[in-house]
Amino acid sequence: MLIIAARPRRVMRLLSFVKDNVPRVGAMVVGGVLDLSLAYMQLNGVDAVPDFLYSMKRLIELGEPAQGVVRELIDRGRSDSSLLINPAEIKWLPPVPDPEKILCVAVNYRAHGEETGHAPPEKPYFFPKFRNALIGNGDPILKPRVSYRVDWEVELGVIIGARGKYIDEKDALQHVFGFTVVNDVSMRDWQFPPGWPEKLNALGQNWIWGKSMDSTTPVGPVIVTRDELEEPNDLRLTLKVNGETQQDGNTRDMIFDVRQLIHWASQGITLRPGDIISTGTPQGVGAAKGRFLKNGDTVEAEVEKIGKLINPVKDE
């Protein structure tokens, strides 16, 4: 009887970082960060490097051929200490620094809806963030000088891997490249119009100012590829401020799960490789407690099986 050994699983925990003033793609492995561009040159004895080793979005766009090269580099280079960098010595970037779209979801956890007085919506309510808000692991959240109610929101981030429009729920995960951690920092005094909710503004909340001020949205530290995190709808999320737990929830509490969110986000809008869907936050936001971020705070946002995103808070 022929026994075929199971093929070892090749972990893909990918990140974007800066080395020698050049953005690069790396992989987290045991022992540090594998510099994929350096690994490509040294392992293949060449000087030229494919462009997808300098751009996460390009790597995602090119699909399996490029991603297969990365898997091989990880397999061959993970044990070579000369190719590894101490994570404490790199300048982290958001895993996808240049997404075309960042779509976020309001009130997508039942417990968060209860703490803020919102009934579950009939369908997801999306709002945008912009690239100017994105920062990486370790970067400071700049508390805007015009805001005094800066809040935290730990969220599971979905990185789109394959273009799609009008995506069926049953096919949704096939359009996912991987998952990351998002801290949807919110300027509550700008998000909600004066007198809200007693004096309602017919135009609604100020989502742009409330969510997309410069350097207020950490993302990272890594992308865990879909094949490494097969079920995103049962993950613990926590957020700490100065070591004190503020949020502790699970994606099981989402009103609309990842598949449903991708379906709804793609209605009339083409999702493209590198786009980010931030899936909402559990209970424990500062606005519900009357507590907000201040200069000198440290925020740790963590999603089970993905990692911990750590950022200091500094006055602008």
Can you tell me the distance from the alpha carbon of 95 to that of 40, in angstroms, rounded to the nearest whole number? 20
Report the alpha-carbon distance of residue 304 to residue 287 in Å, rounded.
Answer: 24
**pLDDT for 10:** 57
Residues 16 and 94 sit within 8 Å (Cβ to Cβ): yes
Residue type, 155: E
Alpha-carbon 138 to chain mean position: 14
Residue 9 has pLDDT above 80, yes or no: no
Does 133 have pLDDT greater than 60?
Answer: yes
| Reported confidence tier of residue 11, pLDDT bands at 50, 70, 90 | low
- Quick check: 284 and 109 in contact, CB under 8 A? no
Q: Residue 5: pLDDT band by 50, 70, 90 thresholds?
A: very low
Host H or E run for residue 26? strand 22-29
pTM of the model: 0.93
Strand positions, DSSP E, 30-131? 32-35, 84-85, 91-93, 102-106, 125-129
What domains can be seen in the chain, in order of their start residue? 13-93 (2.30.30.230), 102-315 (3.90.850.10)
- Beta carbons of 241 and 298 less than 8 angstroms apart: yes
Q: φ and ψ at 84, to 5 degrees?
A: -100, 145
Of 205, 216, 207, the residue nearest 128 (C-alpha): 207
DSSP 87: G
39-48, 102-111, 150-159, 296-305: range with lowest mean pLDDT: 102-111
